[in-house]
Chain A
């Protein structure tokens, strides 16, 4: 271990030896090739970013490094030595720790119990717990990682849960720490804190791999960055010598269309009006606090915010699949029922459509054939009437074929199982179904999550086209770029409140970013 110290002393950007070197890694899941012949060198004592779009293969690659999957071919070298990592235990032994995107914590356990799980000393818990308690105090001071060791993990906020994950890795004395999309659920302030922790760790000589699709973060904290695209490694660059524009281009493979072609909005009358909407969940946490907003015909209202600040709940309440605990929503002046989860049908009848955030869980029934999904939610309408309350299969399939044609859904087969379509085409199935009903109000959540570039453009165009037909659209997205590109007016949510409202043309990323952190620059203080 003495050599490690000497190496780090030679400097971060010097010729420090490689902590990790992946050579020719390939991995496929059935017919899908997630990683193809990937090389990745990571210098010791650096923060190394890995960027790429959703589905580019970043997480798979890191899961291979952490022993969660085994590669079909290729080689892993840790500190120059070829290392076999068949399981997580081997990864831990090789000094690798990982903070997963979905935390791997046992919620009913205390912080201490979570930390020692798998790293206990001996068969009895008592000595391990005592040791972990001491160790946690030390780590807390060294790296700004304060957590109450006796707290039940399930009661902690996500920011604190993430600290527990980092503590787990450090307790196992890892030299290499992998973080998979660590800021997706964090507020900007929490993210800043995380980055300070990472810098502290780097100063201690640890090597950090940061997986993200947010270029801002890459530019802010990494020393080097590797770009992945469609399962392949595109290039590894020194962060200081590149730009977000260059990285973005490498990520998507061609110039990104940052602005969606659209004309000036001509907003009409208010279609939907939300007053003092509030939501307190079963455990007593206030998810929404006094939300008031309105949408006009012919405009796209974007709702921005870090994931988990109440946008999803708001969307679901409006869609009638989640009850609110207070407030009113009216459509053309008539109040909507906000009392139960079973109002989706009523909403559809009053000409509201909803493209849900999670198409796998909500928007589609995956084992259904495409045609069965093409009428899902509208299956009780007269046009699909068959004898004896049956579904008129001829009518539904005709409808499905028309949608496939109009929305260029591929492969163009309405008998194919929905699960066998690509993400982009699945989203088109949902969008076709909802837009074809020509709704007065369209609620859209994360319309392009997990969707390929080609489909993104198409989906954006469809949403704008609906606006141009003088319909009201509420768009929820955690992708600020998407919000900016599509919206005519933007509302930012933070901690269940509206932290600010701006016209799309009169604001910028910086201002929206501050609002997403709960700070209103116009007022110069926390909202």
Chain B
């Protein structure tokens, strides 16, 4: 494989990994606080639609982004209401949110734009376009480093860089701040937090809302960054791949980055090559598509280090009697 193709593949991996990474870190905040979230997909989808719609109507990608975040956070609040305030089943709530988003986006989309559930094609300021880094032309001349700088480091849209920056930010918030300490504590033993005089409810809502925020960015990226508009079901399971990456990374920020890049790479390869030959063996494209899920099951099965979720995860906090 020559350098150009490698760089193209890497660049496309990075772009494909971006929504995964944002959603994965979203899930990380929520699940570290003890709220399981299988509704990442739904929140992303709602955000993708809202962002696409508002960007189309306003002509501004930024307004689209804000609207997408708002939609995602409303669903996050619903998840919070169900799983924190009403102490309901977090998994069922996640399933409901996925369907709600799937149904509402298609229904409202058709009703609003009459384009078979799509939002109008975005162009210009309605989209997040690639940002050219300084001196791309000059540095581009240097062999090897040049093309890497020009085509891999430079040229992505702002949300890609934002997603990458979210990784150290997440790490720092979780492990270096009071907020992070309490957030992790609430996911391990909410009783300890409660008796220390800190509100479990508030802490968990904060985590769930951050999850909503990041899913919102992920969704907006899909419809206003990666594509030029919303298409029905455009998340296409990305929320679940993000969930898989989260487990794969064992709920840690840096490994989450590597997991998402790996899954992004697999997707990029799958898109570029309809099936790969390794020697005489034909690897079908469907296998590539299924690989992230297969890898996650392998990790879940405890091959390659046990994935231990936060101890209080999935359970509503009830003061014991």
A and B touch in their complex, CB below 8 angstroms: yes
A contact set with B: CB distance below 8 Å: 29, 66, 68-69, 87-93, 98, 100, 102, 104-109, 113-114, 116-120, 122-126, 128, 168
Contacts of A128 in B (CB 8 A): 178
B contact set with A: CB distance below 8 Å: 176-182, 184-185, 188-189, 191-199, 311, 319, 321
Contacts of A93 in B (CB 8 A): 197
CB-contact partner of A125 in B181, B193, B196, under 8 A: B181
Contacts of A89 in B (CB 8 A): 197-198
Quick one: given A107-B188, A117-B181, are A66 and B176 in contact (CB under 8 Å)? no
A-B contact pairs, 23 of them (CB 8 A): A66-B195, A68-B319, A69-B319, A89-B197, A89-B198, A92-B197, A100-B195, A102-B191, A104-B189, A106-B185, A106-B188, A108-B311, A109-B185, A109-B188, A113-B181, A114-B192, A117-B193, A119-B197, A122-B178, A123-B178, A125-B176, A125-B178, A125-B181
Query: Are B193's CB and A118's CB within 8 A?
Result: yes
Q: Which of B185, B193, B195 has the most chain A CB atoms inside 10 A of its CB?
A: B195
Min C-beta distance of A359 to chain B, whole Å: 17
CA distance A117 to B192 in the complex (A): 8
CA distance A69 to B194 in the complex (A): 12
Query: Are A117's CB and B182's CB within 8 A?
Result: yes
CA distance A88 to B319 in the complex (A): 12
Contacts of B321 in A (CB 8 A): 29
Q: Which of B182, B184, B197 has the most chain A CB atoms inside 10 A of its CB?
A: B197
Chain B residue nearest in CB terms to A123: B178
Min C-beta distance of B109 to chain A, whole Å: 41
Q: Which of B176, B189, B191 has the most chain A CB atoms inside 10 A of its CB?
A: B189
Quick one: given A98-B195, A118-B182, A118-B197, are A123 and B188 in contact (CB under 8 Å)? no
CA distance A106 to B188 in the complex (A): 6
Contacts of B196 in A (CB 8 A): 88, 92, 104, 117-119, 168
Query: Are A105's CB and B189's CB within 8 A?
Result: yes
CA distance A428 to B195 in the complex (A): 36
Contacts of B182 in A (CB 8 A): 117-118
Min C-beta distance of B194 to chain A, whole Å: 6
Contacts of A118 in B (CB 8 A): 182, 193, 196-198
CB-contact partner of A88 in B176, B180, B195, under 8 A: B195
Query: Are B188's CB and A108's CB within 8 A?
Result: yes
Chain A residue nearest in CB terms to B319: A68
Quick one: given A68-B195, A117-B193, are A125 and B177 in contact (CB under 8 Å)? yes
Min C-beta distance of A35 to chain B, whole Å: 13
Closest 3 CB pairs of A and B: A118-B196, A89-B197, A104-B192
Majority secondary structure of chain B interface residues (helix, strand, loop or mixed)? helix
Query: Are A120's CB and B191's CB within 8 A?
Result: no
Chain A residue nearest in CB terms to B185: A106
Chain B residue nearest in CB terms to A87: B197
CA distance A120 to B253 in the complex (A): 24
CA distance A469 to B32 in the complex (A): 57
Min C-beta distance of A360 to chain B, whole Å: 12
CB-contact partner of A107 in B189, B197, B198, under 8 A: B189
Min C-beta distance of A415 to chain B, whole Å: 25
Query: Are A88's CB and B192's CB within 8 A?
Result: no
CA distance A122 to B179 in the complex (A): 10
CB-contact partner of B176 in A105, A108, A124, under 8 A: A124
Query: Are A104's CB and B195's CB within 8 A?
Result: yes
Min C-beta distance of B319 to chain A, whole Å: 6
Q: Which of B182, B184, B194, B196 has the most chain A CB atoms inside 10 A of its CB?
A: B196
CA distance A125 to B311 in the complex (A): 23
Contacts of B179 in A (CB 8 A): 123
Contacts of B197 in A (CB 8 A): 87-93, 118-119
Min C-beta distance of A245 to chain B, whole Å: 33
Contacts of A106 in B (CB 8 A): 184-185, 188-189, 192
CA distance A380 to B178 in the complex (A): 55
CA distance A180 to B189 in the complex (A): 19
Query: Are B192's CB and A126's CB within 8 A?
Result: no
Min C-beta distance of A484 to chain B, whole Å: 32
Query: Are A104's CB and B178's CB within 8 A?
Result: no
Min C-beta distance of A416 to chain B, whole Å: 20
Contacts of A109 in B (CB 8 A): 181, 184-185, 188
Contacts of A126 in B (CB 8 A): 176
Contacts of A100 in B (CB 8 A): 191, 195
CB-contact partner of B311 in A88, A91, A107, A117, under 8 A: A107
CA distance A81 to B181 in the complex (A): 34
Q: Which of A118, A123, A168 has the most chain B CB atoms inside 10 A of its CB?
A: A118
Chain B residue nearest in CB terms to A29: B321
CA distance A106 to B311 in the complex (A): 10
CA distance A122 to B176 in the complex (A): 12
Query: Are A120's CB and B181's CB within 8 A?
Result: yes
Contacts of B189 in A (CB 8 A): 104-107
CA distance A91 to B197 in the complex (A): 8
Min C-beta distance of B244 to chain A, whole Å: 23
Chain A residue nearest in CB terms to B187: A106
Chain B residue nearest in CB terms to A100: B195
16 more A-B contacts (CB under 8 A) besides A29-B321, A117-B181? Answer: A68-B194, A98-B195, A102-B191, A106-B184, A106-B188, A108-B188, A108-B311, A117-B185, A118-B182, A118-B193, A118-B198, A119-B196, A120-B178, A123-B177, A123-B179, A126-B176
Min C-beta distance of A308 to chain B, whole Å: 20
Contacts of A69 in B (CB 8 A): 319
Query: Are A124's CB and B178's CB within 8 A?
Result: yes
Min C-beta distance of A261 to chain B, whole Å: 36
Chain B residue nearest in CB terms to A103: B192
CA distance A101 to B1 in the complex (A): 64
Chain A residue nearest in CB terms to B180: A125
Min C-beta distance of B198 to chain A, whole Å: 5
CA distance A168 to B189 in the complex (A): 15
CA distance A88 to B181 in the complex (A): 18
CA distance A116 to B188 in the complex (A): 16
Min C-beta distance of A17 to chain B, whole Å: 25
CA distance A89 to B181 in the complex (A): 17
Contacts of B178 in A (CB 8 A): 120, 122-125, 128
Min C-beta distance of B187 to chain A, whole Å: 9
Chain A residue nearest in CB terms to B192: A104
Min C-beta distance of B56 to chain A, whole Å: 39
Min C-beta distance of A109 to chain B, whole Å: 7
Chain B residue nearest in CB terms to A122: B178
Q: Which of A88, A117, A128 has the most chain B CB atoms inside 10 A of its CB?
A: A117
CA distance A88 to B192 in the complex (A): 11
Min C-beta distance of B207 to chain A, whole Å: 15
Min C-beta distance of B292 to chain A, whole Å: 28
CA distance A126 to B180 in the complex (A): 13
Quick one: given A88-B197, A119-B196, are A124 and B181 in contact (CB under 8 Å)? no
Contacts of B176 in A (CB 8 A): 124-126
Contacts of B185 in A (CB 8 A): 106, 109, 117
Min C-beta distance of B122 to chain A, whole Å: 39
Min C-beta distance of B252 to chain A, whole Å: 12
Min C-beta distance of A467 to chain B, whole Å: 36
CA distance A102 to B199 in the complex (A): 19
Contacts of B192 in A (CB 8 A): 104-106, 114, 117
Contacts of A114 in B (CB 8 A): 192
CA distance A105 to B189 in the complex (A): 7
CA distance A126 to B178 in the complex (A): 9
Chain B residue nearest in CB terms to A88: B197
Chain B residue nearest in CB terms to A60: B321
Q: Which of A92, A108, A114, A119 has the most chain B CB atoms inside 10 A of its CB?
A: A108
